[in-house]
Amino acid sequence: MEENYLIDINIEKKYELQQSDAIHRYEIIGNKTFDAKVGEVHYDIALVFTENDDWYHGSAVATFNAKNLPEGPIWIDVKATKIFQMKCNGVKTRNMVFDNRRVFLPNIVLGKNVVEIHYENNYSNDGTGLHKYIDPEDKLTYLYSQFEAFNAHKCFPCFD
């Protein structure tokens, strides 16, 4: 796959979702759990693991309904080492803005939106995200995930 991503090196390493950012995104996407008048988000996720590597490949498709058009940027949270390709509503994004914590979404429309991201990521070793462990006793490989409270984006792109 063709790599096509930008990384802003001025971004602080630790990323925490701010309440103002969550409110901004809720005003655009919302969540049907809280209000029957707002949108829903659905994810289709595929992860490819190989036994001898410290990384994995993934693809995620997020489908959501925008109830309002954004006045400012909207993004999907993702921590990845590489993003190979992103499509937003069927259009391949050529110069995406990706800062290793979120990727900004162009071409958002009222109603149904589909974002597709193909990426690579390293396994985590800090207690969050997706971990890989080889048991010294049985020599088997195990995967462990920790996605609460704001850590699912460390495994796959999502509105975390």
Q: What CA–CA distance (Å, rounded) separates 114 from 64?
A: 7
- Does residue 158 contact residue 43 with C-beta atoms inside 8 Å? yes
Domain map (residue ranges) of the chain: 19-123
pLDDT in tens, 2-59: 444 443 333 445 566 667 766 766 666 765 444 433 357 899 999 999 888 999 999 9
User: Is there a contact between 145 and 129 (Cβ–Cβ < 8 Å)?
Assistant: yes
Q: Which two tokens stand for residue 3?
A: 């790599």
Residue 93 or residue 22, greater confidence: 93
At the top level of CATH, the class of 19-123 is: mainly beta
pTM (whole model) above 0.85: no
